[in-house]
Structure 1
Amino acid sequence: MSAALTLTVYGTPAPQGSKTRNAYGAMYESSAKVKPWREAVKTAALDAIHHDEAWTALDGPVWLDMQFTLRRPKSHYRTGRNTGLLKATAPPYPTGKPDLDKLIRSTQDALKDAGVLSDDSIVASLGASKVYVLWGDALRTPGAVIKVWRLTDFLKEPSV
């Protein structure tokens, strides 16, 4: 079954995490990278649903799958004449920051803002991963591939 919506978002995935209070008591995001990431997700979503005049925000249970592609740190690469080659000790998957759950949070909020989801609470099933650029089927640049399925569509599928 094909996804109800598949998005490819380019940009640096940013976590939505802690908030900070300024001297006047107002709350704001601790990371300055969150706003550009959420805008990139929102723009990709709006571009995708713009072509479907009948699109309405999903309000039933959905299955959401996200693969975040991150840039490798410079410390993973060799230097000198081997510049650009990975060190043998370079880890295959990102296990440090940003936290996967915080990447999910910022992305789900952007999908809600774009009108893909009526609320992020409708996500009944979730798959998510972090990979490095050009690892397996990852994107060539930082970003994410996001797929959304209506779970009620699976109930309509004939059993095999």
Structure 2
Amino acid sequence: MTAPAINITVHGTPGPQGSKTRNAAGALYESSAKVKPWREAVKSAALDTLAYDETWMPLNEPVRVDVVFTLRRPKSHYGTGRNAGVLKASAPEYPTGKPDLDKLVRSTQDALKDAGVLHDDSVVTAVFAAKAYVLTGADALSHPGAVIQVWRLNKPEESES
């Protein structure tokens, strides 16, 4: 692996996919209202990136997906009054609450498939995923969103056959 097959930066609030709820009529729907806008944001960012590569074909080979989700800190992490905007000493360094990392990955992989980055999300054989707060790490953005890299795992000569 020398370089990612594609780098995508997504702007928006990451939305988890996975939990379903039944309404009074018994129909299933996503519990999170954030999943649909998130999948659209990922798809849009991927399509914008792919617009510059006229030869792109959806990846139908083993790939690794690296994704760092950047989340906004809750208001409770900050002081009040004259300390508004000042991070409390007790504020955690890493986001350990909801949304669940695996559900964020699920919605993101499905959007990558919908955008034509992946032939199917079953080609993903390895995932590195992390959650970070805004501006708290090397791959954390200055606003909510995600940095996604998709890596081909086959050697170049294996991909050509």
Please indicate, yes or no, whether the TM-score normalized by the shorter chain is above 0.5: yes
Which residue of 2 is the match for residue 44 of structure 1? 45
Q: Distance in 2 between matches of 1:82 and 1:31?
A: 32
SS in 1 for 2:54: coil
Runs of 4+ more than 4 Å apart? none
1:33-84 CA-to-partner distances (Å, cap 9, x unmatched) read 1000000000000111122111110000001000000000000001122211
Q: CA deviation at 1:26?
A: 2.6
Q: Distance in 1 between matches of 2:110 and 2:39?
A: 8
**Equivalent residues in 2 for 1:60-75, closer than 5 Å:** 60-75=61-76
SS in 2 for 1:135: coil
Query: What TM-score do the two structures reach when normalised by structure 1?
Result: 0.93
Q: CA deviation at 1:20?
A: 1.9
Task: Tell me the amino acid that sits aligned with residue 142 of structure 2.
Answer: R
SS in 2 for 1:131: strand
Extract unaligned runs of 5+ from structure 1.
Answer: none
Which residue of 2 is the match for residue 152 of structure 1? 154
Which residue of 1 is the match for residue 123 of structure 2? 122
Q: Distance in 2 between matches of 1:131 and 1:155?
A: 37
Q: Distance in 2 between matches of 1:63 and 1:20?
A: 31
Which residue of 2 is the match for residue 94 of structure 1? 95
Query: What TM-score do the two structures reach when normalised by structure 2?
Result: 0.92
Sequence identity of aligned pairs in percent?
69
Aligned pair partner of 1:142 in 128, 135, 144: 144
Task: Tell me the amino acid that sits aligned with residue 38 of structure 2.
Answer: W
Q: CA deviation at 1:21?
A: 2.4
SS in 1 for 2:39: helix
SS in 2 for 1:152: coil
Count of aligned pairs between the two proteins: 156
Q: Distance in 2 between matches of 1:70 and 1:52?
A: 30
Q: Distance in 2 between matches of 1:153 and 1:66?
A: 22
Task: Tell me the amino acid that sits aligned with residue 75 of structure 1.
Answer: S
Task: Tell me the amino acid that sits aligned with residue 145 of structure 1.
Answer: V
Task: Tell me the amino acid that sits aligned with residue 32 of structure 1.
Answer: A
Coordinate RMSD, CA, aligned = 1.4
**Counterparts in 2 of 1:15 and 1:155: CA distance versus 1, 3 Å:** farther
Task: Tell me the amino acid that sits aligned with residue 119 of structure 2.
Answer: S
Which residue of 2 is the match for residue 57 of structure 1? 58
Extract unaligned runs of 5+ from structure 2.
Answer: none
